[in-house]
Chains A and B, each alone.
Chain A
Amino acid sequence: MKVVVDMNKCQDHGQCVFAAPDVFQLDDNGRLAYVSDPDDALRDEVEEAADVCPLQAIRIEG
């Protein structure tokens, strides 16, 4: 599974961090950082994170 975040769309709402904290984090400046190739066991969480993004900036491939 590959995760792609459109950083031009991302506005750091942080909803993905609540849904999938192992994959998405806000750094010390409040900006999004994420794991682009998370373990497939985290798929449910990542799908949830993609759903709750207000900007719909998260795409899952594979």
Chain B
Amino acid sequence: MATQRIIVAGASMGGLRAAEQLRGAGWTGAITVIGDEPHMPYNRPPLSKDVLAGKAPFESLAFTPRPNVADVEWRLGTAVTAARLADRVVELDDGSEIPFDGLVIATGMRPRRLRCEGPAAGRHTVRTLGDAEALRAELTRPGARVVVIGAGFIGCEVAATAIGLGVRDVTVVDPLPLPMVGPLGGLLARSLLERHEERGVRFVLGTGVSGFRGEERVTGVVLSDGRVLPADVVVESVGSVANTEWLDGNGLDLADGVLTDGRLRVGGLPYVVAVGDVARFPNARYDGVPRRVEHWSIPGDTAKHAAKALVSHLTGAEADLTLFAPLPTFWSDQHEFRLQSFGSPGLGLADVRVLDGDPDGDVLVGYHCDSRLVGVVALGGHAAATGAARYRAQLLKQPALTA
């Protein structure tokens, strides 16, 4: 019998963690990881911070793989272009096909781009190492006027990093009335706005972008209300799109990422699982509504769970297949302060209470749903972040929310 093979499509953090966890779950067959970037898996959070600031060479970003993946085959610089799941075959951009016994979908996201006419030069996104290096080269040009479109995580981090680099002219544009108001709610978003403004970031809020000015390269951003912001460098941080086109034609639900069941299995096929931010999974801890989660911890969490389900199916080995119920956690570093979150504040935006401190300084905020604590977020210095961690055990003990 030919060697059995699991293919991992995607060679970022989720792909690496999947390979490690497949071995950890007892898979002794072949593993092939396929990724379109030329690099071995690397850590992305520093891209909008230390890499942009010129403080992190690639060697400091690359993950150190566990020894158990020493015999894994890495096919880098190669994209998976299609899959025939029923036939258990993937197709690559070089025209070759690889058969598989099991498949891990780990193709992640790419930045959404604004559909506006205009020059491409001077417009950036931040998702890959190449993106961050290209943006750094332009940010550090003397006198650059920078417009960041989108006041979410990446937008706020890039704006803060640019100020830290000495860029004088940094403006953030967003159609919402406050930065990061979606995940954080008004109380912390207002505090965040003030902290950014005090450090020199300008905000143009409550208006979108309708186009770009410039012939060869961008010279300005046209706002929905007709105003024009002069710009030499534009950063589009307006969300992301799941890389799922290669799965078209297999009858899957690809409405927003790949829909999975509570064990990360895809399309009713027990030999196909999805991991990382491309997976739209129900979290048994909350209301059972499938969601994608773009937090840093999710590739590791999903890989562990998905690998167990996949290996147990392929080998017939017994496994403890509980429903996936991760406790979400995220953080963001902006200027000299940190945001630290545990749980799902987004499910408790209607009932936000200050648990400790003061929104003008270090503050710890609780988010409630039906009077039950569903998330905590700290904003401020180190002590605030540590304070948030104290609530983690309490959040883990809460009974599941029902739909």
Write the residues of chain A forming the contact surface with B, with a CB cutoff of 8 angstroms. 12-15, 17-18, 26, 30, 47, 50-52, 54, 56, 59
Which B residues are CB-close (under 8 A) to A52? 297, 300
Q: Are B331 and A18 in contact (CB under 8 A)?
A: no
Q: Are B386 and A30 in contact (CB under 8 A)?
A: yes
Instruction: Considering the complex, give the chain B residue whose CB is closest to the CB of A26.
Output: B386
Q: CB-defined interface of B375-386 with A at 8 Å, one 1/0 digit per residue?
A: 000000011011
Q: Are B383 and A30 in contact (CB under 8 A)?
A: yes
* A13 interface neighbour in B17, B64, B300, B331, Cβ under 8 Å: B331
Known contacts A51-B17, A59-B64, A30 near B382 by CB under 8 Å: yes
Q: Which among A18, A26, A51 has the greatest number of chain B C-beta atoms within 10 A?
A: A51
Q: Are A14 and B386 in contact (CB under 8 A)?
A: yes
Q: Are B43 and A12 in contact (CB under 8 A)?
A: no
- Minimum CB–CB distance from A25 to chain B (whole Å) comes to 12
Which A residues are CB-close (under 8 A) to B340? 13
Cα separation A24 to B299 with both chains bound (whole Å): 22
Q: CB-defined interface of B315-349 with A at 8 Å, one 1/0 digit per residue?
A: 00000000000000101000000001000000000
- Minimum CB–CB distance from A28 to chain B (whole Å) comes to 10
Instruction: Considering the complex, give the chain A residue whose CB is closest to the CB of B301.
Output: A52
Q: Are A18 and B392 in contact (CB under 8 A)?
A: yes
Cα separation A56 to B300 with both chains bound (whole Å): 13
Instruction: Considering the complex, give the chain B residue whose CB is closest to the CB of A13.
Output: B331
- Minimum CB–CB distance from B57 to chain A (whole Å) comes to 13
Q: Are A56 and B64 in contact (CB under 8 A)?
A: yes
Known contacts A18-B392, A47-B66, A51-B17, A56 near B43 by CB under 8 Å: yes
Interchain Cβ contacts under 8 Å between A and B, 23 examples: A12-B386, A13-B331, A13-B340, A13-B385, A14-B386, A15-B297, A15-B329, A18-B392, A26-B386, A26-B389, A30-B383, A30-B385, A50-B64, A51-B17, A51-B20, A51-B300, A52-B297, A52-B300, A54-B43, A54-B296, A54-B331, A56-B43, A59-B64
Which A residues are CB-close (under 8 A) to B385? 12-13, 30
Cα separation A50 to B340 with both chains bound (whole Å): 19
Which A residues are CB-close (under 8 A) to B296? 54
Q: Confirm or deny: B45 has a beta carbon within 8 angstroms of a beta carbon on chain A.
A: yes
- Minimum CB–CB distance from B294 to chain A (whole Å) comes to 14
Which B residues are CB-close (under 8 A) to A14? 386, 389
Q: Are B386 and A54 in contact (CB under 8 A)?
A: no
Report the 4 A-B pairs with minimum CB-CB distance, sorted nearest first.
A30-B386, A14-B389, A51-B300, A56-B43
- Minimum CB–CB distance from B26 to chain A (whole Å) comes to 14
Which A residues are CB-close (under 8 A) to B45? 54
Instruction: Considering the complex, give the chain A residue whose CB is closest to the CB of B338.
Output: A11
Cα separation A23 to B291 with both chains bound (whole Å): 34
Besides the contacts A14-B389, A30-B385, A51-B300, what 12 more A-B pairs have beta carbons closer than 8 Å? A12-B385, A13-B340, A17-B389, A26-B386, A30-B382, A30-B383, A51-B17, A51-B20, A54-B45, A54-B331, A56-B43, A56-B64
